[in-house]
Chain A
Amino acid sequence: MNKKSYKSPIIMFVYIVFLMLPIYWLLNMSFKTNVEILGTFSMFPNKFTLHNYVTIFTDPGWYMGYINSMSYVVINVIISLAVALPAAYAFSRYTFMGDKHLFFWLLTNRMAPPAVFALPFFQLYSSIGLFDTYWAVALAHTLFNVPLSVWILEGFMRGVPKEIDETAYIDGYSFFKFFRKIFMPLIASGIGVTAFFCFMFSWVELLLSRTLTSVNAKSIGATMTRTVSATGIDWGVLAAAGILTIVPGILVIYFVRNHIAKGFALGRV
């Protein structure tokens, strides 16, 4: 095929090396002792050690960061999906008063810089007693995740023919039964893709999660940045902590790998 000759595997290879090299360097460092990191310079650890990982898994100051981050991310994904599913259905099936304005208004929240909301969120959640809880961060992240979910899900739902709804109602299904038994399985990959994006944006966000937590619900991102600013830097542990934050991403992306291109194909991120 003539078409194939346009593609060069070398370009892809170079790009992937460019992407992987900094990550590899972090991985390499996480298996070194601090003495080796600061003393010698090598592409492979000379004295392979798991000490840095042991530190993280035994020190509550570190591993609680992961548990906290995971907790608010999961709560956020559940809330976002639960409220976005019916709304996306409404947007994809019906016209109602102010629907276009509402949809646009939702999307403007995706454009809101988190820095603008950091201070008011801090005061809002302090005043209702949610400061330093998972709920504060989970609710704060709905600001950009709910509009996103509605947007992605609406795209998937539009692809389901309306005749299916009508047939189900004629067959005597109630709305909830239809939604749960027939509609949700039809857009399962859409729900997967949405959950993936909600997970991703909540997991990678730093500013709001750092502002809204102090001790009890401190996220891993906050733990990492605060260690840097406190007593001198423990590079090995920092590298190991960084590697561990990448692991959930790899797992999630592995599970949705077949759906992700489809999600992107709809042009909705």
Chain B
Amino acid sequence: MNKTVNQKAWFLVLPVFLLVAFSAVIPLMTVINYSVQDTFGNNVFSWVGLDWFEEIIHSQRMHESLGRQAMLTTIILLIEVPFGIFIALNMPKKGFWASFCLVVIALPLLIPWNVVGTIWQIFGRKDIGLLGHTLASMGIEYNYAQDVLSAWITIIVMDVWHWTSLIVLLCYAGLQSIPDAYYQAAKIDQASRWSVFRYIELPKMSGVLLIAILLRFMDSFMIYSEPFVLTGGGPGNSTTFLSIDLVNMALGQFDLGPASAYSLMYFLVVLLVSWVFFTVMTSIDKKGAV
């Protein structure tokens, strides 16, 4: 659609601009302000320049959290994306079962994140949980509160349980937009199942899939509530991801300077990786289209 130039449109955008400026710019300024100053209480601040940034960049704590976070996000994306596509391909196309599946599948997305943690906390316990009890009776060593591997597996399974549906719903919507004629043509050409997927379904899904991957990346990089409730970051520090670490530093220890420097770098990492993702994937998309 060709749009008309109208500077008065700013008045329509103004409420959003003011609101978001209030809830994003002021807090961000506070963070920047703290990140370059040191305080000994009583609102006395002194300028320290980039010392906090230097400290955080060299701190092992940040490196470890970032490493854990990167590993978690990678594993989650590698499992959820193919799995989500696979489920979407098996969704019924229309009729009662299609809407039934849609409603049931969307359900985990609407459960408060802390309740997701609670559900899996209970489900995985050896004494009262179905999963923990079954595994224990099969003789498998499993305790997410003490064993690092169990904790990681539980968090990954929990996230797959929680978020695969989002990818399914997006891919499903993409698949719905493919006209039947495409499939009929493929049938006449006697295309194999794989080539139908590779040359018809995947290209048609790529747009929504891009958004799905981007969203999953962003949200898994900010994960807080679920592991916080499930393991509290433990055993030890083994599931302390970036958000949990930052909240401990900012609200637990109230280390304003380092926490603010940490915040800014965290935000920048998310923005940077999102941007790289987006550019790389849109350029692949364009090449594929030609």
Q: Which residues of A contact B (CB under 8 A)?
A: 2-3, 6-9, 11-12, 15-16, 18-23, 25-26, 29, 37-38, 41, 79, 82-84, 86-87, 89-97, 99, 102, 106, 108-124, 139-140, 142-143, 146-147, 150, 158, 162, 200, 203-207, 211, 220-221, 224-225, 228, 235, 238-239, 242, 245-246, 248-250, 252-254, 257-258, 260-261, 264-265, 267-269
> Taking the complex as formed, is B119 at the interface, i.e. its CB lies under 8 A from any CB of chain A?
yes
Which residues of chain B from 248 to 287 have a CB within 8 Å of any chain A CB? Answer: 250-251, 256, 259-260, 263-264, 266-267, 270-271, 274
> Taking the complex as formed, is B68 at the interface, i.e. its CB lies under 8 A from any CB of chain A?
no
23 contacts between A and B (CB under 8 A): A20-B104, A23-B119, A83-B19, A87-B16, A90-B10, A93-B6, A96-B9, A106-B20, A113-B222, A113-B242, A116-B31, A119-B251, A139-B19, A207-B225, A221-B113, A228-B229, A249-B111, A253-B103, A264-B208, A265-B176, A267-B211, A269-B170, A269-B215
Q: Is the CB of A118 within 8 A of B247?
A: yes
Q: Is the CB of A111 within 8 A of B110?
A: no
> Taking the complex as formed, is B218 at the interface, i.e. its CB lies under 8 A from any CB of chain A?
yes
Q: Is the CB of B1 within 8 A of A143?
A: no
A115 to B263, CA, bound (A): 8
Q: Is the CB of B90 within 8 A of A12?
A: yes
> Taking the complex as formed, is B82 at the interface, i.e. its CB lies under 8 A from any CB of chain A?
no
B116 to A, closest residue via Cβ: A204
**Contact partner, B107, options A18, A121, A143, A246, Cβ 8 Å:** A246
Which stretch of B48-56, B142-150, B161-169 is in the interface?
B161-169
A187 to B235, CA, bound (A): 50
Q: A7-B89, A118-B247 are in contact. List 20 more A-B contacts (CB 8 A).
A: A11-B86, A12-B87, A12-B91, A12-B92, A15-B90, A92-B1, A94-B3, A110-B218, A111-B218, A112-B267, A115-B224, A115-B263, A115-B266, A116-B31, A116-B266, A150-B16, A200-B110, A221-B225, A225-B228, A260-B106
Q: Which residues of B contact A (CB under 8 A)?
A: 1, 3-10, 12-13, 15-17, 19-20, 22-24, 26-28, 30-31, 86-87, 89-92, 99, 101-115, 118-120, 122-123, 127-131, 133, 161, 165-166, 169-170, 172-174, 176-177, 183, 187, 193, 207-208, 211, 215, 218, 221-222, 224-225, 228-229, 242-244, 246-247, 250-251, 256, 259-260, 263-264, 266-267, 270-271, 274
Which of B99, B177, B251 lies at the interface centre, i.e. has the most chain A CB atoms within 10 A of its CB? Answer: B251
Q: Is the CB of B30 within 8 A of A124?
A: yes
Q: Is the CB of B9 within 8 A of A93?
A: yes
Closest Cβ of chain A to B256, distance in Å, is 8
Task: Note all chain B residues with C-beta closer than 8 A to A8.
Answer: 90
Q: Is the CB of B9 within 8 A of A253?
A: no
A109 to B21, CA, bound (A): 10
Q: Is the CB of B129 within 8 A of A252?
A: no
Closest Cβ of chain B to A205, distance in Å, is 7
Task: Note all chain A residues with C-beta closer than 8 A to B16.
Answer: 83-84, 87, 106, 146, 150
Q: Count of A-B contacts with CB under 8 A?
A: 284
A124 to B107, CA, bound (A): 34
**Contact partner, B24, options A12, A96, A143, Cβ 8 Å:** A143
A8 to B270, CA, bound (A): 38
Q: Is the CB of B225 within 8 A of A206?
A: yes
Task: Note all chain B residues with C-beta closer than 8 A to A20.
Answer: 104
Given contacts A38-B128, A142-B23, contact A206 B103 (CB under 8 A): no
Task: Note all chain A residues with C-beta closer than 8 A to B91.
Answer: 7, 12
Q: Chain A contact residues: over half helix, strand or loop, or mixed?
A: helix
A192 to B30, CA, bound (A): 36
Task: Note all chain B residues with C-beta closer than 8 A to A162.
Answer: 1
Closest Cβ of chain B to A42, distance in Å, is 10
Given contacts A115-B242, A225-B229, contact A18 B161 (CB under 8 A): yes
Which of A19, A22, A82, A112 lies at the interface centre, i.e. has the most chain B CB atoms within 10 A of its CB? Answer: A22
Which of A119, A211, A250 lies at the interface centre, i.e. has the most chain B CB atoms within 10 A of its CB? Answer: A119
Task: Note all chain B residues with C-beta closer than 8 A to A86.
Answer: 12-13, 15
Q: Is the CB of A264 within 8 A of B173?
A: yes
Task: Note all chain B residues with C-beta closer than 8 A to A200.
Answer: 109-110
A155 to B113, CA, bound (A): 28
Task: Note all chain A residues with C-beta closer than 8 A to B193.
Answer: 6
Given contacts A83-B15, A200-B109, contact A96 B246 (CB under 8 A): no
Q: Is the CB of B111 within 8 A of A204?
A: yes
Closest Cβ of chain B to A67, distance in Å, is 15
Q: Is the CB of A225 within 8 A of B23?
A: no
Task: Note all chain A residues with C-beta closer than 8 A to B259.
Answer: 119
Q: Is the CB of B123 within 8 A of A25?
A: yes
Task: Note all chain A residues with C-beta closer than 8 A to B256.
Answer: 119
